[in-house]
Amino acid sequence: MRTSPNVIITGTPGVGKTVHCEQLAQETGLKHLSVNQVAKDRDCYESFDEERKSWIVDEDKLLDAIEEEVLQGGYLIDWHACDLFPKSWIDLVVVIRCPSTDIHYDRLASRGYHEEKLQENLDAEIFGVLLEEAREAYDEEIVVELNSENDGDVDSNCARVSQWVENWKKQHEEA
């Protein structure tokens, strides 16, 4: 039985997933699991998409690579998709949003995204694609939407998630 929860921090590129995960790891003691880093380190790729200039992750290989660790609990899973992770692995899904297209555009442009990839990510954010995926893949009561536009948003979002983690641990101590 896990003594710490697994939390997915998801959202389109540029919304602040990694910043949230890094701060939450310090605040909660949970481990930051960057799926992009795991895919690179453990060679979990199918192919390279020349058009988008990005690697296509082999989801089965990825899940096999992290299963043993994640089943022990205590992870902040940082990735732009969430619906591939089995429901039994996940205790909370946090969808980070950036409703301001101007702010989001600037964040993506600063990463050097080419226009097509940039527009694709902005469209996904505008239409709430990742929030919808999360709601379809997991029980609605474990899916939380948080905005990340202003400097103070990260602190308040992390405080909220940290409190949730603390409550989860207390509930599971007593069980």
Annotated binding-site ranges for ATP: 14, 16-19, 111
Which residue in this structure is represented by tokens 């940082």?
78
Specify binding-site residues.
14, 16-19, 111
Pairwise CA distance, residues 154 & 147, whole Å: 9
104 is written with which tokens? 């989001």
Distances (CA, A) of 77 to 39, 73, 123, 126: 13, 11, 23, 23
Distance of alpha carbon 47 from alpha carbon 56, whole angstroms: 5
